[in-house]
Amino acid sequence: MKFIKKQIPLAIVMVTGLLMVASYYIPHKYSVDYVELMNKWENIVSAFAFLLGLVSLFYSHYGKIKRKADGWGYSLFVYIGFLAMVVPAMMTDGRQMVDGQVTSLGWSFRYIYNALSSTMFAVLAFYIVSTAYRSFRIKSRQAFVLFVAAFVLILGKVPLGQMIWDSLLGWTGQGVADIIEWIMQVPAVAGKRGIMIGIAIGAIVTSLKIIFGIEKQYMGKD
Partner 1 sequence: MSETWMIAGGWMAAGLTIFLFSFLYRDNPFFKAAEHLYLGAGMGWWFQVYLFNIWKPKVWEPLLSGDFFVLIPAVLGLSLVTQFIPRISWISRYGFTFMMGYGAGLAIPATLSTDFMSQIAGAIQPFTALATMTPMMIFNSLVVAGGTICVLFYFFFSVEHKGAVKKISNIGIYFLMIYFGAAFGNTVMARFSLLYGRFDDLYTFSGANYFYASQILLIALVAYFILHSFLGGKKTEEEEPAH
Partner 2 sequence: MTKNKIKALIILLLTAGPVLAVAGGKAAPGTIDGFTAVDMPYDAGASVLLKWPVGPSDSADASYVVYGSSLAEGGWRKGEEFVATAKTCKDINLPFWAWDSGEAQHALKVELNTLFGDIPPGTPLKFKAQLLRKGSVEAESPAVDAASKSNWFRLDRLNNLLFLLVMIVIFFWAVSHAKRKGLFIRRIAGLDAIDEAIGRATEMGKPIFYVPGIGTMSSISTIASAFILGEVSKKVAQYDSDIKIPHYDPIVMTVCKEIVKQSYLEAGRPDSYREDMNFFVSADQFSYAASVDGMISREKPAACFFMGYFMAESLLLAEVGAASGAIQIAGTDIESQLPFFFTACDYTLIGEELYAAGAYLSKEPMLVSALKVQDFGKLVVMASVSLGIVLVSLGTKLHWDFFVRVILNLFKAY
Partner 3 sequence: MKETLQKFFKMDRRWIFLVLAVVLFVPIMRPLGLPNKTISRDARNAFDYVDALKPGAFLLLSLDYDPSTRPELHPQAVAVIRHAFKKNLRIGVVTYIAGSTGLIEQIFETVPKDYGKVYGTDYVIFPYMANAAAVMTQMSSDFYGIYDKERNGKPVRDMPVMQGIKNYRDMALVVNITGTSILDWWVAFVGDKYNVPVVGGCTAISQPGYGPYLQTKQLKGLIGGMKGAAEYESLVKEPGKGTSGIDALNLAHLLVLALILTSNIILLIIKHL
Measured from the CB atom, is 58 or 162 closer to partner 2? 58
Measured from the CB atom, is 112 or 164 closer to partner 1? 112
C-alpha to C-alpha distance for 101 and 118, rounded to whole angstroms: 24
Instruction: Report the partner that residue 27 touches, choosing among partner 2, partner 3, partner 1, none (CB closer than 5 to 8 A by kind).
Output: partner 2
Residue of 24, 32, 21 lying closest to 207 (CA atoms) = 21
Measured from the CB atom, is 53 or 159 closer to partner 2? 53
Task: List the interface residues with partner 2, window 114-143 (CB under 8 A).
Answer: 120-121, 123-124, 127-128, 130-131, 134-137, 142-143
Are 83 and 104 contacting, i.e. CB atoms less than 8 angstroms apart?
Answer: no
Q: What angle do CA 75, 111, 130 make, to 5 degrees?
A: 70
Task: List the interface residues with partner 2, window 145-164 (CB under 8 A).
Answer: 146-147, 150
**Shortest CB 112 distance to partner 3, Å:** 10
The residue within the footprint of partner 3, chosen from 14, 16, 84, 161 (CB under 8 A), is 161
**Shortest CB 42 distance to partner 3, Å:** 4
C-alpha to C-alpha distance for 183 and 145, rounded to whole angstroms: 12
Please write down the HEC assignment for all residues of 116-128: HHHHHHHCHHHHH
* Position 66 contacts partner 2 (CB under 8 A): no
Residue 81 CB neighbours (<10 A) = 14
